[in-house]
Amino acid sequence: MIQQITVLGATGSIGQSTLDVIARHPDRYAVYALTAHSDVDTLLQQCLQFRPRYAVISSEADRDTLAARLAGSGVDTDVLSGAAALAQVAAADEVAVVMAAIVGAAGLLPTMAAVQAGKKVLLANKESLVMAGGLFMQAVRESGAILLPIDSEHNAIFQCLPQHKRYFDRAAGVSRILLTGSGGPFRALPLEQLAHVTPEQACQHPNWSMGRKISVDSATMMNKGLELIEACWLFDAGVDDIEIVIHPQSIVHSMVQFSDGSTLAQLGNPDMRTPIAHALAWPERMDAGVAALDFHRLAELSFSAPDEQRFPCLVLARQAFVQGGSAPAVLNAANEVAVDAFLQQRIAFTDIARINSEVLARAAFSEPATLSAVIEADLGARELARALI
Ligand code: NAD
Ligand code: MG
């Protein structure tokens, strides 16, 4: 039977990789809805190719432009705009699978709408889990949604965990999760040069091609910090159950260790189509368009401990998760504002960690009981971060 898919954030790096995989399997998947923030040209091309029932774009002006350009094309796509439309296409009855690939806090409400509707949710938008992990996982349990991680590390951990207990279960012999990270483009740069790096340098990731926000997060290693929090929620693990391991080649995507001394790892070329195809087909497997690893040509796989002096954002993320309450949401919001300011060349690279740290120091301890409380904490932190910039 053909499954209907909604791709939230279709025009981004993950969105485009998802459509590449889907296009290889027209016998299995059809596109129900595609969404984008403002990239009318890319969304138009995607609509012409995939003929979705709906396309959603943020502003009304872009909606009108896209609708006008689609008119007469022979493609019968309804163009909608705004936040309610995102939630609508994420939760529609016809939809079986939702790819949550909007970047940042903007992904929270549509991703939650998909979870609450009990969909199979492919989670790329780690920020929604960082912001509202408790509420998010509670909604997964209540709705019976199937949550599958797309983040390559979390997808690897999911693949290595015991098949019938995909969480940190000591009774099943799981003893440690090893979360790998490349260390980004500045892993070996002399520390005194960090303050002078440009957005272009920060976005030049040595192994992965990604959107600009996550690329900067990889350079500060805030990405690994967010992933630590993401892993704690996804796999019901404590921060001390997870060890971050620097692995510059990005071939081992993460590992799980067991009480008998075994370590299981998932390896592959650094191409997000692998975790995307894994999650789409799970529990089966299917072609992702990714070449298998050639071990005759793998010169070296190396591993080391992270340098916390170079990457203070790692320490901040661990602190925020341990502090709990709205601290992770506050840190995430401050980081989004700081990264944006760095990309606009309004602050230095090293200011990102400074702003994050100052905003986090003022975070409230109380657990946000509702999504509105999470969003309130997010908005407050953004205001504070902007004032510091
Ligand atoms: P991207 O910047 O390339 O794409 C982001 C998408 O979200 C675009 O389609 C954009 O139009 C949409 N979007 C942005 N702001 C929006 C808003 N305010 N409202 C509605 N839509 C909006 O980002 P990406 O690299 O594809 O990353 C997407 C998510 O996946 C992020 O949460 C990221 O952390 C996660 N992720 C990405 C990768 C990767 O390899 N790119 C790997 C792991 C996890
Ligand atoms: Mg990752």
Atom of ligand 1 minimally distant from the CA of 210: 41
Q: What are phi and psi of 14, to 5 degrees?
A: -70, -40
Report, as an integer, the average pLDDT of 77-84: 98
In angstroms, the Cα distances linking 232 to 114, 274, 318, 337 are 21, 23, 10, 24
Q: Answer yes or no: are the C-beta atoms of 385 and 351 closer than 8 Å.
A: no
pLDDT tops 90 at residue 323: yes
**Is 252 near ligand 1, meaning CB less than 6 Å away?**
no
**Whole-number mean pLDDT of the chain?**
97
Atom of ligand 1 minimally distant from the CA of 9: 9
Contacts (Cβ under 8 Å, ≥6 apart) of 109? 83, 86, 87, 371
pLDDT number for residue 365? 77
**Is 80 near ligand 1, meaning CB less than 6 Å away?**
no
Report, as an integer, the average pLDDT of 378-386: 97
Could you give the CA distance from residue 115 to residue 121 in angstroms, rounded to a whole number? 7
**Tokens coding 359:** 């905003």
**Is 154 near ligand 1, meaning CB less than 6 Å away?**
no
pLDDT number for residue 160? 98
**Is 90 near ligand 1, meaning CB less than 6 Å away?**
no
Helix (H), strand (E), coil (C) string for 79-120 = EEECHHHHHHHHHCCCCCEEEECCCCHHHHHHHHHHHHCCCE
Instruction: Measure 244 CA to ligand 1 centroid, in angstroms.
Output: 24
pTM attached to this predicted model: 0.98
Length of the chain: 389
Q: What's the pLDDT tens digit per position in 173-232?
A: 999 999 999 999 999 999 999 999 999 999 999 899 999 999 999 999 999 999 999 999
Nearest listed ligand to the Cα of residue 90 = 1
Report, as an integer, the average pLDDT of 305-315: 97
Report, as an integer, the average pLDDT of 118-134: 98
Helix or strand (DSSP H, E) at 230:
helix 222-235
Report, as an integer, the average pLDDT of 250-265: 98
Residue closest via CA to ligand 1's atom 40 equals 210
pLDDT tops 80 at residue 59: yes
**Is 181 near ligand 1, meaning CB less than 6 Å away?**
no
**Is 125 near ligand 1, meaning CB less than 6 Å away?**
yes
Q: What's the pLDDT tens digit per position in 83-102?
A: 999 999 999 999 999 999 99
Residue closest via CA to ligand 1's atom 41 equals 210
* Residue located via tokens 């975790």: 275
pLDDT tops 90 at residue 363: no
